[in-house]
Amino acid sequence: MIQETVTVIVPTYQEFDSLPSLIEAIEKVRNESIPNLEVLIVDDDSKDGTEQLIANLQEDWVTLMIRTEDRGLSPAVIAGLETANSKFVAVMDADGSHPASAIPDMIAALNEGADFAVGSRYIKGGTTEDGWGFLRWLNSKIATIMARPFTKVLDPMSGFLALKKSTFENAHELNPVGYKIGLELIVKCKCKIVTEVPIHFSTRQLGESKLTLAVQWQYLQHVIRLLRFTHPALVSFCTFACVGLSGAGVYVLLNFVTSKMFASDAISVGIAAWLAMTWNFIWDRRYAFWNSHNRSIICQYFGFVVICAIPLLANYFITLHFAKSNSIPMAALFGAGIGSAIGIVFNFLMTRLLVFGK
């Protein structure tokens, strides 16, 4: 018997058909192992009879919370986690994919010192019901690999999880987007010990899955956001390097155009260099230094120009030098290559410190 209080949060959107058997399964756990268990259903205004269904139940341990704004699985889960008042909180799907019978083991794992418990398909003893199409399987695999930099958990995509309410309260900058709330919590609550409890993951019996292409796009954004949280300098530098590479390409192309417009190499190369630098500024400010928007863009632009001037001048004169014996785009390629090699680390460190710093 587990005597502590536990709230099981169930996010729902149009799960009227699945709820009765889910509540029955949870009630069994309540009667057999966790007497102080409550259920909090967080419904995004499904208007499918869920409200009436819960009202008719008349069970004081089952509560319904209806949200009318900001629809989505992760925000619904966060809202539930914020509302729950128990010592432990768990989250599970409504559609029967997650076996309620695993909840006691998940809570026991927390009692034994884990920061986080996951109902896992991929740990020894866990299984997935046949009938997952190849595409869904592949999808899940790729998503799991992309989560590797953040956690060694074998099933980080699982939406079946449990943690202490106090762990949740320590979360830094929760940014609930998309589906992968478990991954978000493991990273942002800085959970070190994650225990995976094997489950059999069933295919939903009733209703429809809400996993769409948009959800996958959100996941990609989510991974980038998590990387920015865990490895800010590295992500910043890699983005800066990519922008630099694109800027070099833009510079070569621009030279192609400006060399046809202006008779003087000094002018055409100069204009191309200036435009390419502005291109870099725009994307660096937006993506490489995503946190730097609190200062005036004009001041930042001038700072950027001053710092980049040294490698840029090198680039400019090298291009002009090679232009004597090569075509202009070819000379621009040499110029941009050498200029970038000189500039990349210097420009990054200096702009990070002086232009885009907090």
95 belongs to the binding site for Mn ion (CB under 5 A): yes
User: Interface residues for ligand GDD in 45-84 (CB under 6 A)?
Assistant: 71-73, 76
Contact status: 316 vs ligand GDD (CB under 6 A): no
Q: With CB under 5 A as the contact rule, which of the stretches 96-104, 127-135, 299-307, 324-332 interacts with Mn ion?
A: 96-104
| Binding map of ligand GDD across residues 163-182, x = CB under 6 A, - = no contact | ----------------x---
For every residue of 266-324, DSSP letters joined together read HHHHHHHHHHHHHHHHHHIIIIITTT-TTS-HHHHHHHHHHHHHHHHHHHHHHHHHHHT
Of 127 and 327, which CB lies nearer to Mn ion in the complex structure?
127
Residue 159 as a binder of ligand GDD (CB under 6 A): the answer is yes
Q: Which residues contact 274 (CB under 8 A, 6 or more apart)?
A: none
Gap between the Cα atoms of 43 and 50, Å rounded: 8
| Residue 211 binds which entry of Mn ion, ligand GDD, none, CB below 5-8 Å type-dependent | ligand GDD
* # residues near Mn ion by CB under 5 A: 3
Q: How far apart are CA 102 and CA 242, in angstroms?
A: 46
Report the residue from 19, 54, 62, 94 that binds ligand GDD according to the rule CB under 6 A.
Answer: 94
Q: Which of residues 128-147 bind ligand GDD (CB under 6 A)?
A: 140
3-class DSSP state of 38? strand
Stretch touching ligand GDD by CB under 6 A, among 38-46, 250-258, 284-292, 315-323: 38-46
- Nearer residue to Mn ion within complex by CB, 218 or 278: 218
* CA distances to 107, 164, 307 from 90, in Å: 8, 9, 51
- Check binding of 186 to ligand GDD (CB under 6 A): no
Q: What does each C-alpha distance from 16 to 73, 178, 314, 336 come to in angstroms?
A: 16, 22, 68, 61
Residue 303, number of CB atoms within 10 A of its CB: 17
- Residues in the site for ligand GDD, rule: CB under 6 A? 11-13, 15, 42-44, 71-73, 76, 93-95, 97, 140, 157-159, 179, 204, 209-211
